[in-house]
Structure 1
Amino acid sequence: MKTYFKLICMTLVSISLWASDSKATQLLKERSKVLTPKITQVSKSVYCATGFSPANISMIIGVSGILIVDSGMFPAHGEAVLKEFRKITKLPIVGVILTHGHGDHTGGIKAFTHEKGKKSEVLIYARSPFNTEGQHFQDGGIKENKIRGARQGGFLLPPNKRINNGIAPAFYPPKEKNVFLGEHIVPSVNFSEGRHEYNVAGIKFELVAAPGETSDQLYCWLPEEKVIFTGDNFYRSWPNTYAIRGTHYRDVKLWIESLTMMIEEKPHHTVPGHTLPLIGVEETTEVLDDYRKAIAFVLDQSVKGINQGMTPDELVQYVKLPKELAEKDHLREYYGNIEWSVRAIFSGYLGWFDGNPTTLFSLSPQKEAQNMARLVGGEEALSLKAHQALQNNEAQWCAQLSDHLIYLNPANKKYLLLKASALDILAEKLITATGRNYYLTVAQELRVKAKQLK
């Protein structure tokens, strides 16, 4: 018992060492400075609102009306942006272009179709079938994505534990709001494939099918001003090629092809789905080319490793972005994560089986926990090893050992709290905001559960 008490004390000391910000935390805090509300004039007729909502909301001014590109997450967000846009022009809204069906881009649409509470004739442009990802969950009867989505978004965390969401400020949705399936929107103008030209209110624009983060993604191209609206196929961060809330495979190969099409437009300015626009030919060319090059590198290396028989656990150690790309801020893992991309590519091509016959029929978690405890000399010895791992700053190993302990004795408060401590340390060291939020939320849930136990 003396040894056990000593290790607990050492663990508490170890946790206290993380009181100062890690490099990851410092970078996320620095990131917040460019996620504040701002209106940017991109070109003669294009304005982009960033930081008012998780997703950007843009305006294109024509001769007799304006087009809106994406609407933000909630009507209140859209109203706040429209108030700013109305300082620039009083022309009526004639259309809303939705780059894809995610709720953070579609939920605020009422602010633009019902300005000042009055419904107007506003065309809604989108790709069909619209909101494919949300429909995928609904058709399958899947609800777990909502729980995991709330963890990923940090919606259950107190404000002091959220820095930002990597590519957006840390907003909180109403509890009854489902922000991941989008609104029940029926587009008035839609297409499924190819390129389509329009001329509305004196605005010449093209909408192009561009699957990537979602299969219903499009990009909007203004040929006269050479401005491109990328949707979520580009923002200033490593892309979310896999969302930890759960999603079907986001085809990385198609994503690269969509980026290639956008680059071949030779844009002078780029409006991403999140984060600040790219202004000027030089920045636009460099950043979009880096983005495509980096994603293509990860795909190529993943396929190479797969063809060498690597498992996903081996593959994530093998695929490393070249230093000249990894050090660029627009490719930092603020939102998506390269390891998750690699695992998604493996699963997207080969499914769940990693190729190792041992994993065809794995032991149950309970049985593995029992064997692990027996291997080290019993449950108490396993617990000591887990505490020692935490004390040695081996938080991942502590979390994995804690899982065994919890399977052995799920009503033991000490095990729940031990895992929570490990997750807190893992969160502190992770720059990817979605993963950080997930760690912290589950740690919070474990502490609540421990408190409820007698």
Structure 2
Amino acid sequence: AVVHSHSHIDHFGGVRGLVDEADVVSGKVPIIVPEGFLEHAVAENVYAGTAMIRRSFFQYGVLTPASPFGHVDQAIGKNVAAGTPSLIAPTMVITQDIEEHVIDGVAMVFHSTPGTEAPAEMNTYFPGLKAFWAAENVTATIHNVYTLRGALVRDALLWSKKIGEALYLFGQEAEVMFASHSWPRWGTDRIQEVLRSQRDAYAHLNNGVLHLANQGVTINEIHNRYTQPRSLQAQWSARSYHGSEQHNSRAVINRYLGYWDGNPATLIPLSPGDSAPLFVEMMGGSDPILDKGRELYEEGRYLEAVEILNKLVYAEPENESAKALLADNFEQIGYQQESSSVRNSFLAGAYELRSRIPSGVPPSASGPDLMRALTTEMFFDSLAIRLDSTQVEDVAFIANIKHPDTGEELIVELSNATLTTQAGFQAADPDVTVSIDRLDLESVMAGDTTFTDQIATGVATVEGDITGIQAMFGALIEFDLLFELLPGTAPTR
């Protein structure tokens, strides 16, 4: 059997290296997943995949040169895989809070933990071995309540409660606890100690941040105010090697209160590139800013130096002196970080300021398997994200989509330069009806052919006016991964 603990790509993307799909289809090898696995696995990596990968250049430092002064580690792993991820559809879905199954004579107790480290996740206990697999819910570090590559903010309080459940469900007798990104812990006493420290760390994060928020501390201040209790700081398993107090604390406020700090001055802010020239003008131009930046750097006041140099770089993206000095400060801040995510972000930023966006093979968030795993509704939703609405201002259509092989029916509608899809419905008077087997559409989804070619060859049959759909497909763009996160860093083409 193959058990996917959760819906993040590093926990299922190598499945074809473990099992032949024919054995899965035949029923010889089951693939067991938590409820919601397939939906979250594909949606997270397809809808915002390009932006997530680009941001991962910073969090994981994936293309930052390896050295003591560059990429060293990613806390819960040494690096990320650079290849095409795979996915085989699961055959068994765990839907209950607790489910017990015997697979090839091995008893397994599945503990559902949705909304913790991943939207779909589960722990697994092996009672015959007294072994507890904590998925990625309990590792050798505090994790990310908000991951810097970008994802939905996680629920720290719920996370703590699911760890508490595991403590009392399995921690009373387990003799070994292991996790997907960490070494095992041996002995019931040690397992309980680690479970309690992790439970308390996430619970205190949630409660401590809201304690301050309810006294007026804002999302722009909380990272400078919130600290863990000394007793947790003294425990290795509760240190911030991956997540950090700084960005996790802001995440808690964002989850409950959103990004606005309550000050109208920040409600409709100028974009950085628009506000920066005004600041530079008022500070007397670039020379005084550079002089002050060097002074602050020499005094070790790196965050203050970044405050003014960042504005100068936004105002003058090709000012190499400004970018180099900002990079110097980024480096010094990065060297001081316990969290590899934060360290990598500062050092990757420094590298791009000096050398522009690096070349190389980045990790992939998608691939043919993931695209084929999309529902038809999700596929058209992904096209809606790629649609350049300015090109279809005067285009409108209502299309019925039918899959004869599966019986699925959908309405795809383009109106107000917006593409929407509704599964399970058919319009009474559509502009066009397209019939295509789901299996044939999957060839389009995987990039093996195009929708237009399927129509031209008769694989898809059409009744009505197809020009609107053709205009829609003609207005789709391919996202460029190498967009700037810092001004003046675009690669030389």
In the superposition, the TM-score normalised over structure 1's length comes to 0.72
The residue number in structure 2 matching 1:184 is 87
CA gap of 1:312–1:118, structure 2 versus 1, over 3 A, is closer
Q: Distance in 2 between matches of 1:426 and 1:234?
A: 28
Quick one: which of 252, 257, 260 aligns to 1:353? 260
For residues 333-352 of structure 1, the aligned pairs below 5 Å read 333-352=240-259
Q: Distance in 2 between matches of 1:315 and 1:437?
A: 22
SS at match of 2:18: helix
Residue-by-residue CA offset, 1:55-100 (whole Å, 9 max, x unaligned): xxxxxxxxxxxxxxxxxxxxxxxxxxxxxxxxxxxxxxxx011110
Paired AA for residue 100 in structure 2:
E
- Relative to its length, the structure with more helix (as a share) is 1
Residue-by-residue CA offset, 1:329-367 (whole Å, 9 max, x unaligned): 111111111121111111111111112222112233244
The residue number in structure 2 matching 1:96 is 2
Quick one: which of 208, 227, 230 aligns to 2:131? 227
The residue number in structure 1 matching 2:286 is 379
Q: Distance in 2 between matches of 1:384 and 1:132?
A: 53
The answer to whether the 8 A contact 1:126-1:187 is kept is yes
What value does the CA root-mean-square deviation take over the aligned residues?
2.4
Paired AA for residue 294 in structure 2:
H
The residue number in structure 2 matching 1:173 is 81
CA positional deviation for 1:385: 1.3
Quick one: which of 308, 313, 317 aligns to 2:224? 317
Quick one: which of 240, 258, 263 aligns to 2:167? 263
Q: Distance in 1 between matches of 2:42 and 2:103?
A: 30
The residue number in structure 2 matching 1:7 is none
The residue number in structure 2 matching 1:392 is 299
CA gap of 1:317–1:382, structure 2 versus 1, over 3 A, is same
CA gap of 1:324–1:172, structure 2 versus 1, over 3 A, is closer
1:413 aligns with 2:316: no
After TM superposition, where is structure 1 displaced by more than 3 Å over at least 4 residues in a row?
117-120, 131-142, 449-453
CA gap of 1:189–1:425, structure 2 versus 1, over 3 A, is same
For residues 7-46 of structure 1, the aligned pairs below 5 Å read none
The residue number in structure 2 matching 1:152 is 59
Q: Distance in 2 between matches of 1:330 and 1:189?
A: 33
Q: Distance in 1 between matches of 2:96 and 2:46?
A: 23
Identity %: 24
1:404 aligns with 2:311: yes
The residue number in structure 1 matching 2:118 is 214
The residue number in structure 1 matching 2:364 is none
Residue-by-residue CA offset, 1:3-50 (whole Å, 9 max, x unaligned): xxxxxxxxxxxxxxxxxxxxxxxxxxxxxxxxxxxxxxxxxxxxxxxx
Quick one: which of 35, 58, 72 aligns to 1:163? 72
The answer to whether the 8 A contact 2:232-2:238 is kept is yes
CA gap of 1:245–1:237, structure 2 versus 1, over 3 A, is same
The answer to whether the 8 A contact 2:219-2:259 is kept is no
SS at match of 1:335: coil
CA positional deviation for 1:137: 3.4
CA gap of 1:363–1:141, structure 2 versus 1, over 3 A, is closer
Paired AA for residue 108 in structure 1:
G
Runs (5+) with no aligned partner, structure 1: 1-94
The residue number in structure 1 matching 2:149 is 245
For residues 50-129 of structure 1, the aligned pairs below 5 Å read 95-114=1-20, 121-129=28-36
Q: Distance in 2 between matches of 1:295 and 1:303?
A: 12
SS at match of 2:317: coil
Residue-by-residue CA offset, 1:220-239 (whole Å, 9 max, x unaligned): 01223332111111101011
1:198 aligns with 2:101: yes
Paired AA for residue 388 in structure 1:
E
Residue-by-residue CA offset, 1:154-187 (whole Å, 9 max, x unaligned): 210222222221122x23533xx36xxx633311
Greater C-alpha Rg? 2
The residue number in structure 2 matching 1:435 is 342
The residue number in structure 2 matching 1:281 is 188
CA positional deviation for 1:144: 0.8
For residues 355-370 of structure 1, the aligned pairs below 5 Å read 355-370=262-277
The answer to whether the 8 A contact 1:309-1:355 is kept is no
Paired AA for residue 192 in structure 1:
T
Aligned residues: 352
Residue-by-residue CA offset, 1:91-129 (whole Å, 9 max, x unaligned): xxxx011110222221222232149x9998211110122
Paired AA for residue 275 in structure 1:
S
CA positional deviation for 1:131: 4.8
The residue number in structure 1 matching 2:371 is none
CA positional deviation for 1:260: 1.1
Q: Distance in 1 between matches of 2:65 and 2:272?
A: 32
Paired AA for residue 98 in structure 2:
R
CA gap of 1:172–1:125, structure 2 versus 1, over 3 A, is closer
In the superposition, the TM-score normalised over structure 2's length comes to 0.67
Q: Distance in 1 between matches of 2:180 and 2:263?
A: 39
Q: Distance in 2 between matches of 1:134 and 1:200?
A: 24
Paired AA for residue 293 in structure 2:
A
Q: Distance in 2 between matches of 1:367 and 1:188?
A: 53
SS at match of 2:182: coil
CA positional deviation for 1:408: 1.7
The answer to whether the 8 A contact 1:128-1:191 is kept is yes
SS at match of 2:220: helix
CA gap of 1:272–1:172, structure 2 versus 1, over 3 A, is closer
Q: Distance in 2 between matches of 1:206 and 1:397?
A: 52
